[in-house]
Structure 1
Amino acid sequence: MIPLWLFNSFYLSAFNLLLAPQSRRVLRRFFFALLTNALLLAAFGSFQKLSGATGLFFNLVPSPQPRFFSSFIYHNHWGSFCVLMLAVALGLFAHYLHRHLLRELVRTPAMYVLAVVAALAITTPLSSSRSCTVLVLLSLLIGTVHWLRIFWKRYDGPPARRPLPAVFAALAFALLLFVGYDLAKPQIEERLRSTQTDINSLSGSKLQNHRVALYRDTWHMAKDRLPFGWGMASYPHTFQIYNTQAYGRADRLPVIYRDAHNDWLQTLAEFGAIGSALIMLCAVAPFLAFRQKLRRNAITTYLLGGCTLILLYAWLEFPFGNTAVRLIFWMLLFAAIRYAHLTYLEHRAGIATKPHPR
């Protein structure tokens, strides 16, 4: 019952964002609160990691696995959190760039947003999350190109100076990569060695790879009760029946999985096809309800883009196995829809108040 209550509390709490905010400014303030929380977690996690702590909260709490970061036990969960928060930051910066000239940005909260972007980008490799580092770099690249495109359209200065922002952006990107690599050099090198080992293990039969075997066994579990599944939170108990990796190849110890490392497959196994469809409907229904009353904007686009990245990432990992990621995902999804709806309403109100030409 606990997982059901958790889902209900997350969903219903986040659902308030679809109805309660009455202005876009209120939602932007909410986004800044989220970014401040992310910045504090990133700073705390960085000090903790660089101090060599072997447990959570500077060794006050033992960690069940060595690759933890900040208050997150699993490094890929911190990476997923960073991807979502980075989407918020990129969207807010694009919002200010749409409304201010480049020289005016220093007097806006955009500079604070850039600081959060840098912190999130640096801490992702510092946390040892390979996959999320790739997602963060992809997000940064897309965001930078989009920002330059906005500037290019709004620039009204001398033509000779138009390429300067692109040069500064390239230098800033290179500086961010250098600082990130310098701080996270031990983690990056260790993960590169691990990646090489993983690639070598795939040189033979693919089924020898534990992740592929895990997905295969999870699919067999889901297939046996495809309509309704085995029940919520049943995976760690039921999967042992289907687990073909009884013992590890190296240490010959029993292999026990609590998660499928694929949220889509695990959801199908636990809830079945019908339950999975109903969960997807929880996300799709708000879009259907407001489909005629949404207006495109940068913040909504980035928020939905971040949510989409996490949904795609869920094919390879289990980001929704983390409480914070689940809550942030639903909050950003509903906030994105609400922001687009408020943009539509404010646009219509602006048109209605314009004087008609005689």
Structure 2
Amino acid sequence: MIGRPVPPPLNAVQRIKKHATATTALTNSAVPRQVLALGIELEDGPLTKFHIERRFPGARDVVIDLEFCGLCHSDVHAGRGEWGAKELPLVPGHEMVGTVREVGGQVRDLDIGARVGVGCLVDSCRACEACREGLEQFCPNSVGTYGASDPNTGEYTQGGYSQQIVVNRDFVLNIPESLDPASAAPLLCAGITSYSPLRHHNVGPGSKVGVLGLGGLGHMAVKLAAAMGAHVTVFTRSEDKRESALGLGAETVVNSTDTAQLEAAADSLHLLIDTVAVPHELGTYLRTLKRDGALVQLSLPEGPMPGIDAGALIFKRLSYTGSLIGSIAETQEMLDFCAEHSITSDIELVDARSVNEAWDRMVAGDVKYRFVLDLATLGDPAKEDA
């Protein structure tokens, strides 16, 4: 999982020459209009290889040669029409890491060859209340990395299961050099999704944080909360995950099928992060919260959740809330925090030929803890049967 090396820092003269070269390259467009991708062409069909067209880059755009892209369960939901029909063909992927190939003339803060990332958003309206507050993830007209209408072209966006992407500089993240690029890719979704509620609820030394579920989101929540100084408790139905949870930074592990262990955990937490993606009752877990505690729903269960007893909230002034991804600024903060604390996702690297199998394994929960697609294999002639 060693990516291409990051070039050494450039001096001022070299940077000017780089930007001049980039501007000239954009003017004469050395950027291929067609790039190889992996996606869904037919309804209910498998992931297959085909070519897509990337837009001609503008003055504020960055052309990125992609190296790695995380496989998120959201990709499966979207690709298989489980969250409603999507325009086809559809190229998923919103956890991508690559290197800058070219920049527009108005992009002054990125060097060619710099390692960068793109997450769940590639644009927003820039004018609504959320955007003005720096919370573009809540913009009602935000543009998703795939399956959304692109205001630049009027066509649908296509994601990171591809060789290259063109993205506005404002939505491009800097990947710290100390982070392994493959295992940093899931930070662009799973990482920020876990980090944002921890920051919003001011988690720090002395905080008691619970994490329900130990999958892609859960393992990141454990690592991040522990690095923030919290005492972390993991709730899992599988006794086999006890050692894994402790190894990730948890100090307490509760088997949620054991009534005695659950009773011992009552009134022990300030915050509980719920990452379980199937419908499940919450009354048991609300009882683990202290007065003024909060249960935050991160996953989007496949079906309606059972109702909550209002008394469980009222008599301890509890909050039941949700959280999305973070803003671009918060995502960069998260990446820098991860670099400072040597945090990345635990991954299994897969090649283009294995992506359909990886999707099936994700649905079955057979991954520890995230799959990442090695995009170098996408154009490998030996893998043309993907």
TM-score of the pair, normalised by structure 2: 0.25
Task: Choose between structure 1 and 2 for higher RCO, CA contacts under 8 A separated by at least 6 residues.
Answer: 1
- Structure of larger gyration radius: 1
More strand by share: 2
More helix by share: 1
